[in-house]
């Protein structure tokens, strides 16, 4: 296989997506011949800076390969680490290319606007010589693990909301309720649904001492900065009612400590608690792909971990993400969208009037009946995952991988895991990662239970 003059091979291709080009395989082929040093530094809030060292070719004949490699790398780093300032340290030609793409009217205008909104800073791309690259400054802080007292854990998914009532570590009550946050424009709908869930949990407890919230999206100081759950809410209503929606909801329960965390981080936290270990990457495959990370020191990093927007497929005709306008991003491979995308290729027809969540359920029913065409979908997703974990391992020190979310439920999830392990064993034997697929109940409501332990009781 060849791309931009870079040769590489893929032994295992997804059965239903034979044109899939693992970004990891392109990266490996590229780096075999790249020798010129280059560094990418990304600054986020409070002066934290992530620095990634790599190499390019730096020759005219390999310029397009260099451009493509660095652009995909910047994209990945932006959504993994987060930040409002990208510094290209080395090649000025590469810098000029990245600057033109990552501008308000460039190809990555969505990324530029999003990072500007998240960090409330103007986005910029700057250049430095390689030997003047910034010094890395990372953050590390503990998250959760508090199970004393009477707690509510709320998990806001894209197709269902979960809540748990937990007292001194014992789960007294859990429920799942279907809702439609992504298609609703009125933020009062979201607010009332959240409060209803919390009040239901509160009714199962003698009192409420703390509330923890796991929610898809980006949250800074418990404020909603970006979340697909509120995708249809107009900007003025988002600013007025969504940025502080969880604070307002918690105050309906009482003046108690509360913490809001990205659902990916809560997934990783749930894994660290269950495994009693660290170095955990959590991936929740549901409405989107939510990723979180508990580092080897047992803390979270403060990174965005929004790998739904990070590229995993290098094929030029990879599926487009409607929100960002980019192609080959994780959301189309590791979420219900990935299942729905592959269904027609498996010969499975799904009603046009069904929601994505309803389509997923239809495929899952067929998988439970051992229909091979439905199981082939999960086989292909497992192949995607097997090729993508080595890519993730370039940026995260992974000891354990925890898989959660509705997509991982039932026989389909088991087939996906089996295929993933086979790809890793054959193509990436050097990667030693313990992959954990929890029991069925934990896969579905485990995040709400873990969320209950987010805040400390003062």
- Distance CA(181)–CA(179), nearest Å, equals 6
What is the average pLDDT across 197-219? 95
% the chain with pLDDT above 70: 98
Quick: pLDDT tens for 89-131: 999 999 999 999 999 999 999 999 999 999 989 999 999 999 9
- Judged by average pLDDT, the poorest of 196-200, 214-218, 337-341 is 214-218
- CATH topology identical between 150-262 and 266-449: yes
Could you tell me the residue ranges of all domains in the chain? 34-132, 150-262, 266-449
How far CA 318 is from CA of 25, 107, 300, 383, in Å, comes to 16, 16, 32, 16
Quick: pLDDT tens for 240-298: 999 999 999 999 999 999 999 988 888 888 788 888 899 999 998 988 898 999 999 98
What is the average pLDDT across 44-66? 97
Given a cut of 60, is residue 444 above it in pLDDT? no
Given a cut of 60, is residue 312 above it in pLDDT? yes
Average pLDDT of the chain, as a whole number? 94
Given a cut of 60, is residue 133 above it in pLDDT? yes
What region, left, alpha or beta, does residue 168 occupy, with left being phi > 0 and alpha being psi -120 to 50 degrees?
left
Given a cut of 90, is residue 443 above it in pLDDT? no
Going by pLDDT thresholds of 50, 70 and 90, the confidence category of residue 442 is low
- Show Cβ contacts of residue 88 under 8 Å, excluding neighbours closer than 6 positions: 38, 40, 70, 94, 95, 98, 99, 125, 126, 127, 128
Q: With respect to CATH, is domain 266-449 assigned 1.10.540.10?
A: no
The pLDDT value given to residue 200? 98
The pLDDT value given to residue 389? 98
- The token duo for 62 is 């390999």
Instruction: Give, in words, the CATH class of 150-262.
Output: alpha beta
How far CA 168 is from CA of 200, 257, 275, in Å, comes to 18, 16, 19
- Show Cβ contacts of residue 213 under 8 Å, excluding neighbours closer than 6 positions: 153, 154, 155, 156, 246, 250, 258, 259, 260, 261, 451, 454
Quick: pLDDT tens for 371-419: 999 999 999 999 999 999 999 999 999 999 999 888 999 999 999 999 9
Residue entry with tokens 């900007």 = 235
Which has more pLDDT, 221 or 47? 47
The pLDDT value given to residue 220? 83
Going by pLDDT thresholds of 50, 70 and 90, the confidence category of residue 447 is confident
155: β partners: 162, 214
Asked whether the beta carbons of 213 and 195 are under 8 A apart, the reply is no
């Amino acid at each position: 296989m060849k791309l931009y003059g870079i040769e590489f091979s893929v032994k295992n291709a997804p059965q239903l997506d034979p044109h899939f080009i693992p970004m990891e395989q392109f990266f490996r082929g590229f780096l075999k011949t790249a020798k010129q040093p280059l560094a990418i530094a990304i600054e986020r809030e409070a002066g934290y800076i992530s620095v990634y060292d790599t190499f390019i070719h730096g020759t005219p004949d390999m310029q397009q390969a260099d451009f493509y490699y660095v652009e995909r790398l910047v994209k990945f780093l932006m959504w993994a680490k987060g930040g409002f300032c990208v510094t290209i340290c080395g090649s000025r030609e590469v810098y000029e290319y990245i600057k033109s793409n990552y501008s308000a009217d460039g190809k990555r205008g969505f990324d530029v606007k999003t990072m500007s909104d998240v960090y409330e800073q103007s986005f910029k791309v700057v250049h430095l010589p390689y030997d003047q690259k910034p010094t890395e400054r990372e953050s590390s802080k503990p998250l959760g693990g508090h199970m004393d007292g009477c707690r509510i854990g709320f998990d806001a998914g894209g197709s269902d909301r979960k809540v748990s009532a937990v007292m001194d570590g014992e789960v007294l009550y859990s429920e799942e309720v279907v809702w439609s946050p992504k298609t609703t424009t009125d933020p009062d709908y979201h607010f009332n649904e959240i409060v209803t869930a919390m009040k239901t949990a509160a009714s199962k407890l003698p009192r409420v001492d703390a509330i923890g919230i796991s929610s898809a999206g980006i949250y800074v100081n418990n404020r909603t900065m970006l979340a697909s759950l509120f995708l249809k809410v107009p900007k003025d209503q988002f600013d007025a009612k969504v940025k502080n929606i969880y604070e307002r909801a918690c105050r309906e329960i009482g003046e108690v400590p509360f913490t809001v965390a990205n659902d990916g981080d809560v997934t990783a936290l749930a894994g660290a608690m269950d495994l009693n270990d660290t170095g955990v990457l959590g991936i929740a495959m549901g409405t989107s792909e939510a990723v979180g990370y508990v580092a080897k020191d047992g803390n979270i990093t403060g990174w965005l971990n929004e790998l739904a927007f990070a590229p995993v497929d290098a094929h030029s005709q990879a599926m487009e993400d409607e929100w960002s306008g980019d192609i080959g991003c994780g959301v189309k491979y590791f979420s219900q969208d990935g299942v729905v995308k592959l269904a027609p290729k498996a010969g499975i027809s799904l009603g046009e009037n069904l929601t994505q969540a309803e389509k997923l359920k239809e495929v899952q029913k067929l998988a439970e009946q051992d229909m091979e065409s439905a199981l082939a979908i999960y086989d292909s997703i497992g192949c995607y995952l097997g090729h993508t974990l080595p890519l993730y391992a370039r940026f995260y020190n992974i000891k354990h991988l925890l898989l959660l979310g509705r997509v991982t439920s039932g026989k389909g999830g088991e087939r996906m895991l089996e295929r993933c392990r086979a790809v890793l064993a054959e193509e990436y034997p050097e990667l030693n990662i313990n992959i954990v697929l929890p029991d069925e109940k934990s896969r579905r409501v485990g995040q709400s239970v873990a969320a209950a332990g987010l805040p400390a009781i003062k």
